[in-house]
Amino acid sequence: MRITYREACRQAIRDALLADPRCFVMGEDVGKYGGCYAVTKGLLEEFGPQRIIDTPLAENGFTGLGVGAALAGLRPIVEIMTCNFSLLALDQIMNNAATLPHMSGGQFAVPLVIRMATGGGRQLAAQHSHSLEGWFAHIPGLKVLVPGTVEDARWMLAAALADPNPVLIFEHIVLYNAEDELDPAVTGVDIAHARVRRAGRDVTLVTYGNSLPKCLAAAETLAAQGIEAEVIDLRVLRPLDMATVTASVTRTRRVVIVDEGWKSGSISAEIAARLAEDALYELDAPVRRVCSREVPVPYAAHMEEATLPRVDDIAAAAHALVKPS
């Protein structure tokens, strides 16, 4: 069955609502409007206003309500329209959701799922286009998921809801229209491990989210040049599955990390540091990173495109490692 990433997200939410009467959705425009990106369209009519709840423009308030509901035994799915706005709820996410299980000595669980859109590429300008998932991956007590495929978008939510601790799911805005075949034999995915999306022998491309299709396209370009790139989809930014990354780098001896976040203090920096600590002597060339330009994401289409990682940039970085001039 061929479906869009958007429809995969909707089916996942609908399944969760059908499976557990404790589950409900809460966020800005999730009800009558059907979600800012149309993910929750039709759910209000099916499940009613007690389970599909439109909230005021008050991220800190309704995220705190989600924390309280989770503590009380419910299974809330909180939608934050864009990850830029999640900063308004950072106090609730970091100081309450992530810490209460630890501060209570495990007496209280916070089974909260927060979904939010991330990334640029849709000309939504600087207040709606950044990639902040690496910031949240810095916080102990959270699990941070970034589905880069239709299959992961379809099945990660169920695994997140089954987790007793808070889980953040970042859905890239450009991927909502992406289509792919959904294998009917697959009925779940794990939320602990990276995946090898393409095998290769010459260089490893490590990425996640909307940079995954870019890396796969770059790998095709490199293949035409006689370079076989292995593509690793991180999928989970916290906890990082460094074992899969290190195993790939041990085989290929070269690595390019592609991250739509800014290079300074990014998840790409964390991966590079861990490779330097634990796999330095497996590398035959320096670690290279392809990240967004360190500016607020512009509105103009040509400037936005130049700001974000591009297929040609990824291919050029990998080519320079394998066949330096």
Q: What is the pLDDT of residue 325?
A: 62
Identify the residue whose tokens are 């939504």.
Answer: 124
CA 225 to chain centre: 31
Separation CA 311–CA 313 (nearest Å): 5
Q: Which regions of the chain are under pLDDT 70?
A: 325
pLDDT tens-digit series, residues 73-127: 999 999 999 999 999 999 999 999 999 999 999 999 999 999 999 999 888 899 9
Q: What is the pLDDT of residue 78?
A: 98
Q: What is the pLDDT of residue 35?
A: 94
Domains of the chain: 2-181 (3.40.50.970), 195-322 (3.40.50.920)
Alpha helices in the chain (DSSP H): 5-19, 43-47, 59-71, 90, 100-103, 133-136, 150-162, 211-224, 242-252, 267-278, 301-307, 311-322
Separation CA 233–CA 235 (nearest Å): 6
* Enzyme catalytic residues: 59, 128
Among 20, 6, 4, 1, CA closest to 158:
20
Q: What is the pLDDT of residue 85?
A: 95
Question: What number of other Cβ atoms are within 10 A of residue 201's Cβ?
Answer: 12
